[in-house]
Structure 1
Amino acid sequence: MRIVAIGGGTGLSTLLRGLKNFSVDLTAVVTVTDEGGSSGILREELSVPPPGDIRNNLVALASDENILGQVFNYRFKNGSLNGHTVGNIILAALTKITGSFTEAIAKVSDILAVKGRVLPVSNDMGRLVAEFEDGAIVKGETHIVAYGKETGFAIKNVTLESPLKLNPAVKQAVEEADIIVLGPGSLYTSIIANFLVEGLSQVVAQSSAVKIYISNIMTQPGETTGYTLRKHIEEVEKFAGCTMDYIIHSYPPKDDKVLEKYREKGSEPVTIDVFHDRIIFGHFSSVVLDEDYRIRHDPLLTAQAVVNIALRKVNVK
């Protein structure tokens, strides 16, 4: 069974951690518009595609996350390397050595013995441009989220500053896929950002694969404040250029203290305002400790929901 999962960093890597436990041929397609933190510094100073989201997904698919995975995810806390992760630096170095971001990813994949493939949606880096409801045009992922938080205005549309060509390996993977999964992850900056690359929406729309969208559990301040489940689905389908066959939506964990912390930061559980046979509701989330207590999709429960759909709908040759 060939599964292509499309997204960004944290959300997609969570799904991959679950899917790698099943007997599937797995390809992760990752956005190249990240500009935050270490990735932002490396892309600006070294002119390499942002490595952070790629690193997250490579580590998620590593055969042994406990040793090499920890090394690649290690983040320096002080000195001139403050904020950088070891994996980001290695990917940047290999990109310079080989002259190819894709080749750098392939070499790291060998080092980590990843169970599947991780592909950048394009071999070049891109910059997001958002138009807000007040007419403001904001460039750059971090600036877009910051503007949304500061003003409270919603995103009206997103584009790329310059056109990006689709990675040919991504095109082939999508054409051969039995299942295409979108998300989980930030709606605009992790999922939709991929569909701004020339050709991806067309190849996904033309694919006969079963298409699944894993929706957000919580709204994201600066990006999806006030968005309901219906709004999430509408935006994904608009940019993907096709209707999703299934939507997986998780109820938030029943943890009032954690939910209250989210509310204090302007985040709420996504309101369910649409019911349909294609929407699969369930408890696919958990609270994890990542510097603070955070609500995340549970890797195994979410992956199992995807595989259950696949087993019912896909006739693997």
Structure 2
Amino acid sequence: MKVVAIGGGTGLSVLLRGLKKYDLDISALVAVTDEGGSSGRLRFELEIPPPGDVRNNIIALANDEDLMSQIFAYRFVDNGSLHQHTVGNIIIAALTKMKGSFNEAVKLTCRILAIKGKVIPICDDLIRLVAKYDDGSQVVGETNITRKKGRIISIQLDKPAKASEEALIELSNADLIVLGPGSLYTSVITNLLVEGVKETIALNKRAVKIYVANIMTQPGETHGYTVEDHVAEVERYLEKPLDFVIVNNGQPPAEVLESYLKEGAEPVKVLSKRENYIFADLVQVIHEPNDPRPKIRHNSEALANIIVEIAKRCSCGKQ
């Protein structure tokens, strides 16, 4: 079964870490509108698409124990010109300049790490997100969007951009198309705004379309959103109904949840149990290097298992 996963850096990489353990043909289509941290600095200083999200997903599909994977993930934390840059970001940036193509740089990086599957930037263009809010204001740039407090009514790109031919081929051949997990607008929907993506998905009649709902709301992006709100927005930009929605019904530990609540994030609520919702306890708490606050993430193995079960069901249906 060919699984094409669409998203950004953190949430999508969690899914890929689980999927790579199964006998699946995996392709990850990754957003290129990130503007924060190391990626943002390289984007604006070198005028290249941001490498951080593709780097995260390449590492997710590589051998965790491999020395090269550990090198690519290494982040400089000392003060200086390399502060907060990762080795992988710098290498992808160097390859982009050498080859004159971000897509080619990503392909070479995938070869260097001998990953299972493919990681493909959704396009090769330098694009930004533009969000319009219910108060009539407009904000440009992912970082600015996540900082603003308000309800987004629409989101678009700052200029037209065409999806890479390779990305469209993967979508055309997909048996399952998985959207998320990840930030609703800045990691998931941003990909649907690129010309050719939603059109190709619509033409692939056999592909099962799955959305992985977020566990927590995101301040500045989805404050107060329910699962139904998330699904409605995905379907609005996809212009197609989803076949399945994977929903967490687990409860994060109280002490971890408290730190999220202080920042304005809360568990995503479910208003109704619809026929196409698949519920499971997907909560996992992780501790990232150089970050004192525990993070709530999807459980990679549990999430991948659900995807595989859907794949098996669809495969049996075809037979």
Q: CA deviation at 1:57?
A: 0.2
Structure 1: runs of 5 or more not aligned: none
Q: Secondary structure at the match of 1:244?
A: coil
Amino acid of the residue matched to residue 176 of structure 1? N
In the other structure, the counterpart of 1:122 is 123
In the other structure, the counterpart of 2:308 is 307
In the other structure, the counterpart of 2:102 is 101
Amino acid of the residue matched to residue 295 of structure 1? I
- Which of 222, 225, 229 in structure 2 is aligned with 1:224? 222
Q: CA deviation at 1:69?
A: 1.7
Counterparts of 1:1-317 in structure 2, within 5 Å, are 1-77=1-77, 78-148=79-149, 153-207=150-204, 208-290=206-288, 291=291, 292-314=293-315
Query: For residues 39-95 of structure 1, what are the alpha-carbon distances to aligned partners after superposition, in whole Å with 9 as ceiling and x for unaligned?
Result: 111111111110000000000001244522221111111211111110000000000
Whole-angstrom distance in 2 between the partners of 1:190 and 1:66: 28
Q: Structure 1 residues 252-261 or 41-50, which shifts more?
A: 252-261
* C-alpha contact (below 8 Å) 2:250/2:280 kept by paired residues: no
* C-alpha contact (below 8 Å) 1:27/1:118 kept by paired residues: yes
Amino acid of the residue matched to residue 95 of structure 1? T
* C-alpha contact (below 8 Å) 1:59/1:65 kept by paired residues: no
Compute the TM-score of the two structures, normalised by the length of structure 1.
0.96
Amino acid of the residue matched to residue 256 of structure 2? V
Whole-angstrom distance in 2 between the partners of 1:129 and 1:65: 39
* C-alpha contact (below 8 Å) 2:252/2:283 kept by paired residues: no
* C-alpha contact (below 8 Å) 1:253/1:286 kept by paired residues: no
Amino acid of the residue matched to residue 17 of structure 1? R
Whole-angstrom distance in 1 between the partners of 2:261 and 2:6: 28
157 and 312 in structure 1: CA distance in 2 versus 1, 3 angstrom threshold: same
Whole-angstrom distance in 1 between the partners of 2:121 and 2:244: 25
Whole-angstrom distance in 2 between the partners of 1:276 and 1:252: 18
Q: CA deviation at 1:253?
A: 3.5
User: What's the C-alpha RMSD, in Å, of the aligned pairs?
Assistant: 1.2
Q: CA deviation at 1:147?
A: 1.3
* C-alpha contact (below 8 Å) 1:212/1:247 kept by paired residues: yes
Whole-angstrom distance in 2 between the partners of 1:42 and 1:253: 38
Whole-angstrom distance in 2 between the partners of 1:254 and 1:130: 30
Whole-angstrom distance in 2 between the partners of 1:203 and 1:285: 33
Amino acid of the residue matched to residue 201 of structure 2? V
Q: CA deviation at 1:12?
A: 0.1
* C-alpha contact (below 8 Å) 1:30/1:53 kept by paired residues: yes
Q: Percent identity?
A: 50
Q: Secondary structure at the match of 1:81?
A: coil
Q: How many residues align?
A: 313
Whole-angstrom distance in 1 between the partners of 2:210 and 2:87: 33
Query: For residues 78-137 of structure 1, what are the alpha-carbon distances to aligned partners after superposition, in whole Å with 9 as ceiling and x for unaligned?
Result: 211111110000000000001111111111111111000000111112100000111111
* C-alpha contact (below 8 Å) 1:76/1:82 kept by paired residues: yes
* C-alpha contact (below 8 Å) 1:248/1:279 kept by paired residues: yes
Whole-angstrom distance in 2 between the partners of 1:230 and 1:98: 44
* C-alpha contact (below 8 Å) 2:25/2:117 kept by paired residues: yes
* C-alpha contact (below 8 Å) 2:64/2:70 kept by paired residues: no
* C-alpha contact (below 8 Å) 2:252/2:296 kept by paired residues: no
Whole-angstrom distance in 2 between the partners of 1:205 and 1:171: 12
* C-alpha contact (below 8 Å) 1:155/1:223 kept by paired residues: yes
* C-alpha contact (below 8 Å) 1:179/1:209 kept by paired residues: yes
Q: CA deviation at 1:238?
A: 0.6
Amino acid of the residue matched to residue 164 of structure 1? A
186 and 65 in structure 1: CA distance in 2 versus 1, 3 angstrom threshold: farther
Compute the TM-score of the two structures, normalised by the length of structure 2.
0.96
Amino acid of the residue matched to residue 38 of structure 1? S
198 and 258 in structure 1: CA distance in 2 versus 1, 3 angstrom threshold: same
Q: Structure 1 residues 196-205 or 173-182, which shifts more?
A: 196-205
* C-alpha contact (below 8 Å) 2:30/2:119 kept by paired residues: yes
Whole-angstrom distance in 2 between the partners of 1:273 and 1:203: 31
Q: CA deviation at 1:251?
A: 2.3
* C-alpha contact (below 8 Å) 2:26/2:116 kept by paired residues: yes
